[in-house]
Amino acid sequence: MFGYYLKLALKSIKRNPILSALMVAAIALGIGSSMTTITVNYLMSADPIPEKSQQLFYVQVDSWDPTSPYNDDNNDPPNQLTWTEATNLMAAKKAKRQTAMAKSGAVIEPSNPDDKPFEASIRLTFADFFPMFNTPFLYGNGWDQQSDLARDYVVVLTREINDKVFGGENSVGKNIVIMGQNFRVVGVLDHWQPVPKFYDVNNGAFDETEELFMPFYLKEELELPNWGNTNCWKSPEGEGFKAFLRSECVNFQMWVELENSQQEAEYLDFLNSYVSEQKALGRFARPMNNRLSDVMEWMENQQVVADDAQIMLWLSFMFLAVCLLNTIGLLLAKFTGKSAEIGLRRALGATKSNLFIQHLVETAVIGLCGGVLGLALALLGLQGIGALYGSFVEHLTQLDFTLVVIGLGLSLVASIAAGLYPTWRACNIAPASQLKSQ
């Protein structure tokens, strides 16, 4: 029966090529625009580390200015930590795993004298970073906690830097000159680009991961510059790099891994008691306001999904609505034009449900054609967005399998929904009236 309906549907579509093409085009445009914006929003709001996003928590404490809040609009504590807090909380080791971190940069001098020195970005972090965030290693491993404290000159390279400096070979154990110092390579990461780059959304939520990873305390040792966002409410006391490091300026992020809500409560208790101690020392004059946010809460809090992307998402849904209304109108016209045929079939014994299914098949065929064309348009649209926004959206304009399924499903559901009323109307045509007028 289905095959027969399909044949009828194709016949009917061919009979009115212009009307059918208009419907397919309308659905395709609606699906194309919605899928483009859905893709961008879906990737912007994606869970970057689904297997662990509920066990990783971003740490905030309110070390800000006693006289004015960090953020005038809400009561949020600063979104980064001071060096003092980062190092104290790390030393306390109260979580299963923990890592403070910061962004920096330095010049690499390749050993081959023909290769020019170049500047690379650095993530200063702790040994726990790699197991916490499940980073994939191509060669070697991260460093151990011993190296954190000993301030060893060890480094983990990204695959790109390893290709650039060592021609892609296994460089574990080799030396690399960074900031004029000899570093030992302990590991090389495979491609790793969390989207969003959740571990540091302050400095570009969709930026590339850093090119080098090295122990956090080398910041102090090598006086590495602040590359990320730095905010101060009070100027450093004293001169020089060390004074700046020990100031009330916030430039550091910290994540902890906690396995359940009990550990989470305990860690929050620890933060509160830590702040109480600091209050006794004359710091933290603001009311107690410490936070732990898991990955998705933190993405939400930091408004990782751009406003423009959301505006476009809603506009594109309205666009889809217009396209569907259009399709309903055209289907109505088309099916009414077929009333004589429908009357005849009814008179010859076809039931209402037979006709209903027949016409639903016809709309589904149109919907699927529109969906496939719409996905092609979405690819075009995403390419357009890629061209307009440049490298910023590089990781946000790729259709994956889920999105293709969503797109086809959406077009099918939308077209069938659009077809329901016209189909219902068509089936309710009284056979007698149609036959009479002939």
Partner 1 sequence: MSASNLEIGPIFRALMRNKVGAILIAIQIAITMTIIVNSVFIIVERSQKMTRESGIDEANTFHIGSSAFAPNFNHQVSIEQDLALLRALPGVVDAIQINAVPISGSGWSMSLQTQAGAEYDGIGSAIYMVDENGLNALDLELIAGEAFVASDIRWRQRGQTDWPEQAIITKAFAEKLFPDSEWASVAGKTIYINDNEPMIIKGIVDKLQAPWVGWDNVEHALLSPERLAFPTVRYLIRTEPGMRDKLMPEVEQALATSNKGRIVRGLRTSAEDRERSYRGDSAMIKILTTVMIILTVVTALGIVGLASFSVNRRKKQIGTRRALGASQGAILRYFMLENFLISSVGVAFGAALTVGLNVVLVNAFSLSAIDWFYIPIGMITLWLVGQLAVYGPAKKAANIAPAIATRTV
**Which residues contact partner 1 (rule: CB under 8 A)?**
19, 22, 26, 29, 33, 67-68, 106-107, 109, 116-119, 179-180, 223, 225, 234-236, 239-244, 306-308, 310-312, 314-316, 318-319, 321-323, 325-326, 328-330, 332-334, 336-337, 384-385, 388-390, 392, 421, 425
For partner 1, the closer of residues 256 and 330 by Cβ is 330
For partner 1, the closer of residues 276 and 336 by Cβ is 336
Of 258, 216, 268, 270, the C-alpha closest to 99 is 216
For partner 1, the closer of residues 179 and 268 by Cβ is 179
Of 215, 47, 93, 206, the C-alpha closest to 144 is 215
Q: How far is the CB of 387 from partner 1 (least distance, A)?
A: 9
| Residue 191 neighbours by CB under 8 Å, 6+ apart | 136, 159
- CB of 363 within 8 A of CB of 419? yes
Identify any residues that bridge with 162 across adjacent strands, giving them in sequence order: none
For partner 1, the closer of residues 56 and 377 by Cβ is 377
Placement of tokens 């004293």 in the chain: 238
Whole-angstrom distance, CA of residue 19 vs CA of residue 161 = 56
Placement of tokens 């006391």 in the chain: 237
Q: How far is the CB of 244 from partner 1 (least distance, A)?
A: 5
What sign for the dihedral angle of Cα 369, 370, 373, 374?
A: negative
Q: How far is the CB of 338 from partner 1 (least distance, A)?
A: 12
Q: How far is the CB of 420 from partner 1 (least distance, A)?
A: 13
Of 154, 229, 141, the C-alpha closest to 184 is 154
118's tokens? 């170049």
Q: How far is the CB of 242 from partner 1 (least distance, A)?
A: 8
Of 241, 222, 112, 217, the C-alpha closest to 178 is 222
Q: How far is the CB of 246 from partner 1 (least distance, A)?
A: 11
For partner 1, the closer of residues 67 and 402 by Cβ is 67
Neighbours of 103 (CB within 10 A): 24
Identify any residues that bridge with 101 across adjacent strands, giving them in sequence order: 253
- CB of 252 within 8 A of CB of 82? yes
For partner 1, the closer of residues 319 and 356 by Cβ is 319
Whole-angstrom distance, CA of residue 401 vs CA of residue 288 = 46
C-alpha distances out from residue 195 to 242, 305, 382, Å: 34, 11, 17
For partner 1, the closer of residues 318 and 432 by Cβ is 318
For partner 1, the closer of residues 170 and 303 by Cβ is 303
Q: How far is the CB of 214 from partner 1 (least distance, A)?
A: 16
Of 348, 94, 340, 124, the C-alpha closest to 217 is 124
Q: How far is the CB of 222 from partner 1 (least distance, A)?
A: 11
